[in-house]
Structure 1
Amino acid sequence: MPRYKILIEFEGTRYSGWQKQPNSNTVEEEIESGLSRILPHPVDVIGQGRTDSGVHAEGQVAHFDFPTELDPHKILYALLGVLPHDIAVWDIQQVADDFHARFDATARRYRYQIIRRPAPLKRSFAEMVLDDLDLDAMHNCAQKVQGTHNFDSFTKPDNDNPDSVCEVMESYFTEEDCQLSYHIEANRFVRHMVRRLVGTMLEVGKGKRPVQEFEDMIDKPSKNKNGHGAAAHGLILEKVSYKKS
């Protein structure tokens, strides 16, 4: 049966994350509903992983199977008419039958956006922080994140992913105009990890925690250490990487 890979962009404000769940509006459910309106029968969409409620994506990846070959251009055009304004499927391609959006992914890349002054046009996609920040201390924390670590201090109990070990290939801050952005790429992420890393680094930047405490949370992980979470609306899934792409 032909398999199709789709690339998705969405604003997560109105949704309870990616993954379907009872009594909640989710991105996965909206895409399956949209496809069912333009295809002869329903399909099961498999995403590369879930995103939290309120988190956005520029490059979410998913796949689905369909018994006949589809015209990608026609499908993309049809989806424009049936998906809500805050979800877009912007690419579709037929892939190998054994391709899997989740299990074949080698890396995921996120960006967390922080604005340093009132900026109404950016407010929906960034956390506003008006405090003075020790950026040198935050850069030191970001550098500490890089490498293979157990991130128990920055997650919550999750029966689906009990192992909190992740390999972080990139972790750094950039500054442009009024925006401070945190960039992180890893082979996998555990629940709330990026938001808790950012929130805790912001506390270091504000002088509420020393750098040594952050380093201790990395070196001596424990779910009891409870990293501070940043707001969901500042987080964006940028890209998912695969060996064959």
Structure 2
Amino acid sequence: MRYFIQFSYFGKLYHGWQKQPNAITVQQVLDEALSTLLRRPIETVGAGRTDTGVHAKQMFAHFEAETIKKQANLVYRLNALLPEAIAVGQIFEVSDNAHARFDAVQRTYEYWVVQEKNPFYSDHAHYIKHPLDVQRMNEGAAVLFEYKDFECFSKSNTDVKTYLCTIKKAVWEVKSDKLVFTITADRFLRNMVRAIVGTLLEVGHGKRTVVDVKRIINSKDRSQAGTSVPAKGLYLTSVRYPDEILEKHG
């Protein structure tokens, strides 16, 4: 039977989601915990990959297993076994052809910036001391809706077949004591959000203009865009699926 598992993690201690040789990842830790409790080898398939140090408030994966009669109990036992930085929210049965990665229709990320030194955000947000023009940054963000090809914001030497993404939301907002960039799209390229944020911060600092953002995107050249911001400020906050994928789940 196929199950979806919904979980979250704080990424500081991990080399991203996806398993890697000679590096500890969230997928490795989760698979080992599931395998221990279900007493058989379990390999999860995630909704996507997050890079080293990136966090996830909501992440999904699927795995195959024999019938799990007490799913809530398995969640409880997993959380007791997993390290503090990883927490499972729920496990539920889905149809046999449901796929955590390929069936996801929308993903949302947040990037957190703080403008005053704050020890409580040292591992949670990117500290920038110089003033930022948020209005100009939002004008730059609005340019993203005019395009589909974002090769300029993709990590170099990636093996993707297409650089096309449909961005549905991109906005900077002041939320309490931090500045938050929220971006939603059907898919994201590797390093895309961090490169976009780095570029828009240069707009806010007056180093780039809105016209520059258009020129960068049209160039399809990663070297033209801004420097990628640190991973510690990036959060995957939501992954959405069609209703029929989750129809077995209450």
Shorter-chain TM-score category? over 0.9
| Residue 5 (structure 2) aligns with | 6
Distance in 2 (CA, whole Å) between partners of 1:70 and 1:142 is 47
| Residue 55 (structure 1) aligns with | 54
TM-score under structure 2 length normalisation? 0.93
Distance in 2 (CA, whole Å) between partners of 1:26 and 1:148 is 33
| Residue 169 (structure 1) aligns with | 168
Q: Tell me the CA shift for residue 141 of structure 1.
A: 0.8
Q: 1:187 aligned to 2:186?
A: yes
How many equivalent pairs are there? 244
Secondary structure, aligned partner of 1:118: coil
Q: 1:104 aligned to 2:103?
A: yes
Secondary structure, aligned partner of 1:124: coil
Distance in 2 (CA, whole Å) between partners of 1:227 and 1:203 is 7
Q: Which amino acid aligns with 1:51?
A: T
TM-score under structure 1 length normalisation? 0.95
Structure 2 residue runs without a partner (length 5+)? none
Q: Which amino acid aligns with 1:145?
A: L
Q: Which amino acid aligns with 1:30?
A: V
Distance in 2 (CA, whole Å) between partners of 1:174 and 1:223 is 26
Distance in 1 (CA, whole Å) between partners of 2:138 and 2:145 is 11
Q: Tell me the CA shift for residue 166 of structure 1.
A: 0.5
Structure 1 residue runs without a partner (length 5+)? none
Compared with structure 1, are the counterparts of its residues 239 and 231 closer, same or farther at alpha carbon in structure 2 (3 Å cutoff)? same
Distance in 1 (CA, whole Å) between partners of 2:41 and 2:146 is 42
Secondary structure, aligned partner of 1:108: strand
Distance in 2 (CA, whole Å) between partners of 1:35 and 1:173 is 38
Distance in 2 (CA, whole Å) between partners of 1:76 and 1:238 is 20
Q: Which amino acid aligns with 2:195?
A: R
| Residue 65 (structure 2) aligns with | 66
Secondary structure, aligned partner of 2:43: coil
Compared with structure 1, are the counterparts of its residues 221 and 94 closer, same or farther at alpha carbon in structure 2 (3 Å cutoff)? same
Q: 1:138 aligned to 2:137?
A: yes
Q: How large is the RMSD of aligned CA atoms in angstroms? A: 1.4
Q: Which amino acid aligns with 1:86?
A: A
Alignment of 1:64-103 (within 5 A): 64-103=63-102
Distance in 2 (CA, whole Å) between partners of 1:175 and 1:116 is 11
> As a proportion of its length, which structure holds more strand?
1
Distance in 1 (CA, whole Å) between partners of 2:147 and 2:138 is 18
